Amino acid sequence: MTEASPLAYLDEFRDSPRIKELLARLRERRGGPFKIMEVCGTHTMAISRHGIRQAMPDDITLLSGPGCPVCVTSNSDIDTFIEIAASPGVIAASFGDMLRVPGTRMGLAEARSGGADVRIVYSPLDALTMARENPGNAVVFFGVGFETTAPTVAATLLEAAATGVDNFFVHSVHKLVPPALAALCAMPDLAIDAFLCPGHVTAIIGPEAYEPVARDFGIPSVIAGFEPLDIMLSLNMIAAQVDEARAEVELQYTRGVRPGGNPAAMDLMNRVFQPRDTEWRGLGVIPGSGLSIREEFAAHDAVRRFEVDVSYSREPKGCICGQILTGLKTPRDCRLFRKACSPDHPVGPCMVSSEGTCAAYFQYEA
Amino acid sequence: MCLAVPAKIIELDNQMATVEVGGLTREASTVLLPDAGIGDYVLIHAGFAISVVDEGAARETIRLFDEMTDGAGADD
Ligand code: SF4
């Protein structure tokens, strides 16, 4: 080995003869048909971009799952943030993906055109800096994301509390992946045979977090990296489990994920947040699947500080994002797809997000 | 949204790292990865290092692949 950098292997993870070889192995297998759900939106994008979905043999179906945080955020949570953003003296800070998602009455971008101070941040730390620089304003960060993101928000909130930045608030709609997978498994009309599990969520929570799903529902779970070779290797690992009637948690993404995950990140997340029941678009309310801010940090909790009424919230008419997020339908089943709904005029969040299933199909799976 | 990019830590001061990504440098917190050190490759998500990228494991994945396929895809 000449190069000591793990990045030196990147070319090999994108190497197409290797990928073709793995595809050929899937085509040669003689097991029965099965369906794999790719849980993570980043996987959905990679699978669409590299043509992996269409390249699958007829007996293997790849379905997209609920792993796009922007997409699973309910309209009432979005409307709440928009109402807060429109409150006097507020600077609303959000990851960029959220801006063009349509709420019930308007999206964040429209709220900004209407005069609200909405700013895109790359890190929650940027929002904390804004709070320090604007002591006369309340800076409210929209805490959207799974276990990958929640620890970064927790660390930021702890820093705000420790340094007395009392004009920094978080609207936490963070969600947890394992309870959603269990909810999916329990859905009677869904026939998922295996999960392709998210690499970066698992870097935090550890592969062990999927053991209950594998054990209780007999569903194989393979934690995959994001390069085409990672995905193809993982699909072969799943096929082997299905053919051998095993249901285990296996880790393909060994270079990014350690057994046990990241305990320091989990500690910070658990110090700041506690589990709560929360609503997912398409999945409804799932027990213990969300994160609310603990009483100790109530002073930084946006929903305790701002009282808003979003009783008008409803889901966009004609949009079937909810069924797409649960693998029951694909974008092609939506009558608005490519007609009334496109990336320029998105009707639902799955068309907006850079990892939304409708956006992925629109761009790559014509 | 769970995108994370691999980067190399080139400076580290009180849990704020300077990291190099594709020739550019930026700041990232190592609060979530207290054992990270200078020279480590880490995954950066939302301004935080969340995991160390393991070189040995990367090499092992490639080796495993070549073993599975008898090296069929390796050289052509
Ligand atoms: S195509 Fe548009 S309207 Fe249809 S499900 Fe997707 S986001 Fe919703």
pLDDT band with cut points at 50, 70 and 90 for residue A10:
low
Q: What angle do CA A227, A231, A235 make, to 5 degrees?
A: 170
Percent of chain A with pLDDT over 90: 84
| Residue A266 counted as domain residue | yes
Give the Cα separation of A196 and A176 in Å (integer).
16
Give B-chain residues touching A145 at CB under 8 angstroms: 1-2, 46
Q: What angle do CA A152, A154, A159 make, to 5 degrees?
A: 95
Q: Which of A133, A108, A173, A129 is nearest to A349 (CA)?
A: A108
Test A42 with B3 for CB contact under 8 angstroms: yes
| Residue A104 counted as domain residue | yes
Structural domain count, chain A? 1
**Three-state DSSP class for residue A288:** strand
| Residue A297 counted as domain residue | yes
pLDDT band with cut points at 50, 70 and 90 for residue A3:
very low
Q: Which of A330, A347, A362 to mutate to test the pocket of ligand 1 (most atoms within 8 A of CB)?
A: A347
Residue type, A58: D
State pLDDT tens for residues A326-362.
Answer: 999 999 999 999 999 999 999 999 999 888 999 999 9
Does residue A5 surpass a pLDDT of 70?
no
**pTM of the prediction?**
0.93
| Residue A3 counted as domain residue | no
Percent of chain A with pLDDT over 70: 97
State pLDDT tens for residues A29-81.
Answer: 888 899 999 999 999 999 998 889 888 999 999 999 999 999 999 999 999 99
Domain boundaries, position A297: 73-175+261-305
CA distances from A152 to A36, A148, A158, A214 (A): 30, 8, 10, 28
Mean residue pLDDT of chain A comes to 93
DSSP A231: H
DSSP A99-157: TT---SS--HHHHHHTT-EEEE-SSHHHHHHHHHH-TTSEEEEEE---TTTHHHHHHHH
Residue type, A276: R
Answer for the pair B29, B49: CB distance below 8 angstroms, yes or no.
Answer: yes
For range B42-62, the mean pLDDT: 89
Give the Cα separation of A341 and A348 in Å (integer).
8
> What atom of ligand 1 comes closest to residue A329's alpha carbon?
5
Q: Which residue's CA is the nearest one to ligand 1's atom 3?
A: A319
Complex-level ipTM: 0.91
Answer for the pair A290, A179: CB distance below 8 angstroms, yes or no.
Answer: no
Ligand 1 residue neighbourhood (C-beta within 6 Å): A 319-321, 324, 331, 334, 336-337, 341, 347-348, 350-351, 358
Q: What angle do CA A73, A77, A82 make, to 5 degrees?
A: 115
Domains in chain B, CATH or no CATH each: 5-68 (2.30.30.140)
Optimal mutation site among A7, A159, A255, A257, interface B, most CBs of chain B within 10 A: A255
| Residue A322 counted as domain residue | no
Q: How many CA atoms lie within 13 A of A277 on its CB side?
A: 4
| Residue A52 counted as domain residue | no
- Sign (positive or negative) of CA dihedral A35, A37, A42, A45: positive
| Residue A335 counted as domain residue | no
Determine if residue A276 is left, alpha or beta; phi over 0 gives left, psi from -120 to 50 gives alpha, anything else beta. Answer: beta
Give B-chain residues touching A144 at CB under 8 angstroms: 1
DSSP A359: H
A38/B contact by beta carbon, under 8 A: no
**Three-state DSSP class for residue A192:** coil
Test B47 with A258 for CB contact under 8 angstroms: no
| Residue A93 counted as domain residue | yes
Give the Cα separation of A35 and A55 in Å (integer).
14
What are A235's two structure tokens?
């699909």
> Distance from the CA of A330 to the center of ligand 1, in angstroms?
10
Q: Which residue has the tokens 């769970």?
A: B2
For range A226-230, the mean pLDDT: 90
Nearest to B51 among A21, A146, A257 (CB): A257
Q: Which of B45, B35, B43 is nearest to B8 (CA)?
A: B43
Give A-chain residues touching B15 at CB under 8 angstroms: none
State pLDDT tens for residues A267-287.
Answer: 999 999 999 999 999 899 999
- Sign (positive or negative) of CA dihedral B47, B50, B56, B61: negative
What's the CATH number where A111 sits? Answer: 3.40.50.11740
- Percent helix, percent strand, percent coil in chain A, to nearest 5: 45, 20, 35
